[in-house]
Structure 1
Amino acid sequence: MRPLPAGAIIWQLAQTLWVGGLVLLHLATLAVLDQTGLAPLFIDQFANRASALLVGFAAACAVLQLVVLVRAERVSSLWLDLRGQLLSTALLSSAVYYVLRHWFAEALHWQLLSYLVLALSGLLLVLQPVPGRGRRAR
């Protein structure tokens, strides 16, 4: 088996960090904190700050993955390839999350929806092949 190129390693590492972090926060960490009996206000404050940090980190990793995708494939893969579309969706939902957080702070359900769209696009991205390996985009 030949070694992975640097772009493929960067792609997989960035994807593991941001998708895993988003899923881990809401499916594991917050559930465990809720079961420990901590004060609900503390859990809400922790979730609020951790979510904001993770959305920013996810956006930075998605930009990094976009760069890897463009270098491995071509610029048109941003809109023709499903990986580019999913990464664009992730960036758009990250931007919507921060717009809602800054200007419409009371719209918590919409913030959660944009967070879930970000996580879902990341989970669907996990199912796609790494750029430069597997099938090539058209």
Structure 2
Amino acid sequence: MSKFATSDRTAARDSAANAWVLLQTLWVGGIWTLHFLVLPGLAGVGLAPLLIEEVARALVPQMVGVTLGVALLQLLLLIRRYGWSAPWRVRSGQLLLAVLAISLAFLVSLMLWPQALRWQLFSYLLLAFFGVLLVLQPVPRKAVAADPQVG
């Protein structure tokens, strides 16, 4: 056995699971951090409310765009792990499909209906909620017993 982690079979097998957790942390943590820490923190510092709204108007769509891209990557990891029926069969896939739909709806509403601030806030908070539900799901991994190399 080599001393490098890239040559270890278990490390290679778990790389998709590690990527899943990293991607999930990126978008779920980003949504929660922005909405519940950064924006209230700016208000707590004493910045003008209009300035905080401008910051939110710039950062929230970017965070939703990141969510859309990362959720697509997670969906590809899920399909690679469980097959093409995974988005409909596995609960994580169903949640990711909902996240993709809500993200697209949010971004389309920004272009077609920019005055719908309550809809955009609702969509953003729904993404945060679905993110927490996705975090509570088990990480997709290959079954150890099915691997002929283990044992």
| TM-score, length basis structure 2 | 0.84
Alignment root-mean-square deviation, CA: 1.2
Distance change in 2, residues 1:133/1:28 (3 Å): farther
| Conservation of the 8 A alpha-carbon contact between 1:62 and 1:90 | yes
Q: CA deviation at 1:99?
A: 1.2
1:110 equivalent in structure 2? 119
Unaligned runs of 5+ in 1: none
> How far did 1:75 drift?
1.2
Q: What is the 5 A alignment of 1:30-109?
A: 30-109=39-118
Point out the structure with max Rg over C-alpha.
Answer: 2
Q: Relative to structure 2, which stretch is displaced further, 124-133 or 8-17?
A: 124-133
Give the secondary-structure state (helix, strand or coil) at the position aligned to 1:131: coil
Taking the aligned partners of 1:80 and 1:48, their CA distance within structure 2 comes to 36
Unaligned runs of 5+ in 2: 1-9, 144-151
CA distance in 1, matches of 2:57, 2:24: 22
Q: Distance in 1 between matches of 2:142 and 2:57?
A: 37
Which of 13, 20, 35 pairs up with 2:29?
20
Q: Is the 8 A contact 1:73 1:132 kept in 2?
A: no
- CA distance in structure 2 between the aligned counterparts of 1:78 and 1:44, rounded to whole angstroms: 36
Three-state SS of the structure 2 residue aligned to 1:132 is: coil
| 8 Å contact from structure 1 (residues 19, 119) kept in 2 | yes
| Equivalent-residue separation in structure 2 for 1:7 and 1:13 (angstroms) | 10
Amino acid at match of 2:40: A
> How many percent of aligned residue pairs carry the same amino acid?
43
Indicate the residue corresponding to 1:7 in structure 2. Answer: 16
State the secondary structure of the residue aligned to 1:129: coil
Instruction: Give the ranges of 4+ consecutive aligned residues of structure 1 lying more than 6 Å apart after TM superposition.
Output: none
- The amino acid of 2:109's aligned partner reads L
TM-score (norm 1): 0.92
